[in-house]
Amino acid sequence: MKRKVKIKKKEKSNKGITLIALVITIIVLLILAGISIATLTGENGILNKANQAQEKTQEETAKEKVQLSIMGSYGTDGKLNYEQLKDNLDKVEEIVNVPNEIEELPIDVYVDGYKVTIEKNGKVTVHVITPTTIEQAKEQGEILDENNPVMIKDKYNNKIVVPEGFKIAEDSAEDVTGGIVIEDVNHGATAGSQFVWIPVGEIKGADGVTKTIELNRYTFSTDGTPTAQGENVIGGNHQELTTSSYGNITAKNLENFRTSVSKNGGYYIGRFEARTKNERTSITNNDGLEQVTVYADEYLYNFVTQPQAAELCREMYTEDKKFTSDLTNSYAWYTAIVFIQTFDNRNNQTTPYSLQNSLNTTFEKKGTNHLEDITKQDKVCNIWDIASSVHEWTTETYLINGSPCAFNGGSYSNSSWYSHTIGGYPVSSAYKYLSFRPILYL
């Protein structure tokens, strides 16, 4: 009898992964990813809640800064001492727009981008200010606030303080480094005037890098490197004095200007040199002063002395406003140059702006913003003609009895003058190639 041999069949291997299993795995992973994203970014997501918590913390911090000032302002009679309250509020760097005198409550102050109301009973209320972005401000297209400055932020979270009665100009940049332009909309004869925000402190650019701009007077090396000079005499004979016995006009209140810049994180400089409605044709024009403006479509305000330029700038906006206008001082001039040089947004530009000389060689009655040749235009960070066009009066003092009135900047008539150049003229000087530029600060 033959013996049957049982042959064992080879079992198939199940170690590999089938296509169906792979597809199922991917689907499961996608579902899990979707759940994770929703958990992070949804209306009730982790990131949104974190942002809300951060905003709430910032609001509470702003509120606390004011509350601490109030707590230290009660007298022994248990009543709030308004004079002491003002002093305590002024001591906190982040608190701005404190009234010159506190006679009654409620009042509004601004802290870190929030409006904070101090009620009669000392209670503090925090308001989120709108518009909060440059885009929202442009969309609003009207006076931001008729009574108070408004704090807004650009797309990189840099802060800008807009004075009452101004709006963000339609052609303003979207961020500080490109040049935030504000426009006067309700101050009568000066309506339409434009100013550019010069930020001071830590500024973040489009590349994500944070750079620091310091309010100071500077000298510049042959490669454009700035060196802060503070109150030093520059060039052997230039100094920013608080009072002068030489006959020139000094800054209206230099200490107030520096304090304001520190508190608000910047100041404004005229987008253009000073302008006026009628063309000025000779030195005889300086006998009759005209309304000064700062917008493109009027004539250059030349044939004016340094004392007259200072008077015109100060009268642009009177004392009843919650901001001050003045002739550009040397701190404002040099800091603007450092800002422009740091964030120079001209294409293919290799010359440091501090060493930039006049780009145009012809006199432009309405300013070089009307030049069609873009290679001859001096427009950087939305500011025109710091290095070109004409010399500009400042409040700095040239420490020479015969020529105490200082000027800065380049001129169409001389390529050897640069944006950082300093010179001096007698008090009576009023020439075709001399103009000025106003500044604003809160």
Give the model confidence (pLDDT) of 238-277 as tens digits.
999 999 999 999 999 999 999 999 989 999 999 999 999 9
> How far apart, in whole angstroms, are the C-alpha atoms of residue 215 and residue 408?
17
Place of tokens 């009207």: 142
**What are 356-384's pLDDT values in tens digits?**
988 888 888 888 887 888 878 899 999 99
Is pLDDT at 223 greater than 80 in this prediction?
Answer: yes
The mean-pLDDT minimum among 85-99, 191-205, 399-413 falls in 85-99
> How far apart, in whole angstroms, are the C-alpha atoms of residue 134 and residue 155?
7
Is pLDDT at 62 greater than 90 in this prediction?
Answer: no
> How far apart, in whole angstroms, are the C-alpha atoms of residue 181 and residue 169?
6
- List the structure tokens of 206: 């489009």
**How many Cβ atoms from other residues are within 10 Å of residue 276's Cβ?**
19
Give the residue, 127 or 391, on which the prediction is more confident: 391
Angle at 358 between CA 441 and CA 169, to 5 degrees: 40
* Beta strands in 87-225, from DSSP E residues, in sequence order: 95-96, 107-111, 114-118, 124-128, 150-153, 159-162, 166-168, 181-184, 194-199, 201-204, 210-213, 218-220
> How far apart, in whole angstroms, are the C-alpha atoms of residue 385 and residue 391?
10
Among residues of the chain, what percentage have pLDDT more than 70?
88
